[in-house]
Structure 1
Amino acid sequence: MEIIIRRLSQRLSPSPFINLCKTPIIRSHHKPILNYYNNLYQLITIIRPFSSSTARTPSRWLSGFGTRKKITNLPRIVQAGDPVLHQPARDVSVEEIGSDRVQKIIDDMVQVMRRRPGVGLAAPQIGIPLKIIVLEDIKEYIAQAPEEENIAQDRRPFDLLVILNPKLKKKSNKSAFFFEGCLSVDGYRALVERYLEVEVNGLDRDGKPIKVDACGWQARILQHECDHLDGTLYVDKMVKRTFRTVENVDLPLVNGCPKQGVR
């Protein structure tokens, strides 16, 4: 966010309008004008930068309504290139699970995911190399996507899941290609092949065993989040020629790319 302090006078510009998006170049040899101009700096305007995630109504992946909410006093979502996203996370020990630290990490993850909003988050995405994932998909998010898209993706709502030390295995060899994105690779999408049915075993936030049998879009989210715990981003698995900005996600695929849908 940039702060531009400016006030233009009629002497400097014949236009009554103030350009708040571009700072004029003042040559150093025009000292009288420079001094006069500096004395006119009285207007403070805060300009919110354009964000690709608000340019359309994203409903295809970890984007919820597509309107970012201000996150105060919460961890930031780290972006691709940060080492924590590219190395394996470690297990949470049984002794750690009930600790205030781990419970706060879980609470922070849930709040960050919901406020973004998104439908899944892994601890490395807030800079913590622990094997913790949270995920949730609600009716309000799903309603933002066309009904035919939700049907094709087998996307249905599910309640909040908190899984520590998840272990994922496929339940069948059936797979599908759909566009995927990531809060840590902001503003981009690409086709990724995922299994249609998976099973995840782990511990809940109280340290009790939990097992999730998932299919369709929930299975995709689980695979995406578990990849984070291995230091893998979706761009490591994407069909490279389908990589694009979120604004271009609906443009035709180039020749040779797999079509979206179940294989």
Structure 2
Amino acid sequence: MKPNGADRGLRAAVEELLRRYPNGIFPIVGAGDPVLRNPVQPYAGQLGDLLDATLDAMRRTMLDAPGVGLAANQIGLPLALAVMWDPGTDTSDPRERSPFACRAVINPTYQVVPSPDTGLVESRTFYEGCLSVPGYQAEVTRHRAVRFRGTDQDGTEFDEVLVGWPARIAQHETDHLAATLYVDKADLRTLATNQWLAAARSLPS
């Protein structure tokens, strides 16, 4: 994406992160930090030639955590950038975790659409977590299918329909950019620690 105007403050913030964390694994901002509660700026070239380094570091940070998505405000940058992925190796998983290649997205948006296989607007409820709210998960009802639009890292526009877990990841990360955390949409009566959920899931059904 060609820059329309670099932002010295944001560039300086990225340069400092890269200096302090040369391995490209940045600290993740936790819930309570105001940067997560203010809508981000649309990306319009503010980082200039630091965009690729920023997105690469976001990928490294996400994978190291590990997680399946990370928005720029989760590393303290109020810009409409995100990275996401999911190996999705279990085709029998009721969450529909189909493989979702690691990618960066710029200025992403989503729109609810009917599921391609049923023609119906559907929702699904599953446990969900967040790298900015570590240690916990809760049930969140989200749309099963969304039309996902934005720009790839190389500046190519995309417009595609996502279904199942990829659609959930896209909604979660795009919500971050609109200052919404998953706990805002969760049924907090289902809030549980990761340890408790792991133990519960290991019990025979």
TM-score by length of 1: 0.62
Deviation at 1:102, TM superposition (A): 1.9
Partner Cα separation in structure 1 for residue 194 and residue 135 of structure 2: 5
Q: CA deviation at 1:137?
A: 1.1
Give per-residue Cα distances to partners, 1:175-226, cap 9 Å, x unaligned: 0100000011000000000000001111111222112310000000000000
Residue pairs, 1:113-128, within 5 angstroms: 113-128=62-77
- Superposition map of 1:1-263 within 5 A: 72=23, 74-93=25-44, 95-96=45-46, 99-138=48-87, 142=89, 148=92, 150=93, 152-172=94-114, 173-249=121-197
- Gaps of at least 5 residues in structure 2 are 1-21, 115-120, 201-205
Deviation track 1:27-69 (CA, whole Å, cap 9, x = no partner) reads xxxxxxxxxxxxxxxxxxxxxxxxxxxxxxxxxxxxxxxxxxx
C-alpha separation between the residues in 1 aligned to 2:198 and 2:87? Answer: 24
Runs of 4+ in 1 over 6 A off after TM superposition: none
Are the equivalent residues in 2 in contact too, given 1:163–1:210 (CA < 8 A)? Answer: no
Amino acid at match of 1:87: N
Number of equivalent positions: 174
CA distance in 2, matches of 1:238, 1:74: 29
Runs of 5+ unmatched residues, structure 1 = 1-70, 253-263
CA contact (8 A) 1:75 1:126 kept: yes
- Relative to structure 1, is the Cα distance of residues 114 and 251 closer, same or farther in structure 2, using a 3 angstrom cutoff? closer
Percentage of identical aligned residues: 40
Larger Rg: 1
Go from structure 1 to structure 2 and tell me whether the alpha carbon gap of 1:241 and 1:102 turns closer, same or farther (over 3 Å shift).
Answer: same
Please tell me the residue identity of whatever aligns with 2:79: L
CA RMSD of aligned residues (A): 2.1
